[in-house]
């Protein structure tokens, strides 16, 4: 598209505003759920349900940074150390993946984190130790 200007109809403009507002609220709900889940998991899961419904009603995608924190099976908010287990794995001759296990329903979802299709999980690669020998010398 570049410099060329896009023209939206009145309805499209209205939808854009609605989506922007919804996105802000979804962001707020996810942040709040992340804070309260250790004290009040029921309320946190209700926040997530509300946020998902809002996303569906306004036809927007859940932001990628939150997508792997929602259980695919029971749609609960997942937080490491509270109700989720995060593990890194490697399939034989295949992709490296992040395995997220939901401790509420036991469902495991695997997200590949290498390659162009998983930019939002790229930070995991930077966590892996590059020179493990140096770490041992410290002790």
> Which residues contact Zn ion by CB under 5 A?
71, 73-74, 102, 104-105, 107
Least CB distance to Zn ion at residue 99 (A): 13
H helices present in the chain, as ranges:
10-36, 41-57, 64-67, 123-127, 132-138
Least CB distance to Zn ion at residue 124 (A): 21
**Of 13 and 85, CB closest to Zn ion:** 85
**What phi and psi values does residue 126 have, to the nearest 5 degrees?**
-75, -15
Least CB distance to Zn ion at residue 69 (A): 11
Residue 114, token pair as written in the block: 């290498």
**What phi and psi values does residue 105 have, to the nearest 5 degrees?**
-120, -10
**Of 27 and 104, CB closest to Zn ion:** 104
**Of 23 and 104, CB closest to Zn ion:** 104
* Cα(33)–Cα(25) distance, integer angstroms: 12
The helix or strand, by DSSP H or E, that contains position 124, with its residue range, turns out to be: helix 123-127
Least CB distance to Zn ion at residue 38 (A): 17
**Of 73 and 114, CB closest to Zn ion:** 73
Give the sheet arrangement for strand 96-102, strand by strand.
84-90, 96-102, 108-112
């Amino acid at each position: 598209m570049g410099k060329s200007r896009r023209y939206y109809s009145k309805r499209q403009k209205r939808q854009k505003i609605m989506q922007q507002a919804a996105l802000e609220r979804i962001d707020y709900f996810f942040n709040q759920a992340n804070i309260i889940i250790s004290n009040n998991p029921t309320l946190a899961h209700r926040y997530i349900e509300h946020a998902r419904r809002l996303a569906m009603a306004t036809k927007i995608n859940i932001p990628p940074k939150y997508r792997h924190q929602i259980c695919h099976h029971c749609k609960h908010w997942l937080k490491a150390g509270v109700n989720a287990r995060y593990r890194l794995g490697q399939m034989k001759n295949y992709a490296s993946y992040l395995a997220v296990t939901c401790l509420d329903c036991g469902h495991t979802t695997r997200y590949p984190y290498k390659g162009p299709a998983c930019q939002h999980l790229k930070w995991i690669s930077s966590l892996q130790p590059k020179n493990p020998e140096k770490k041992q010398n410290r002790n």
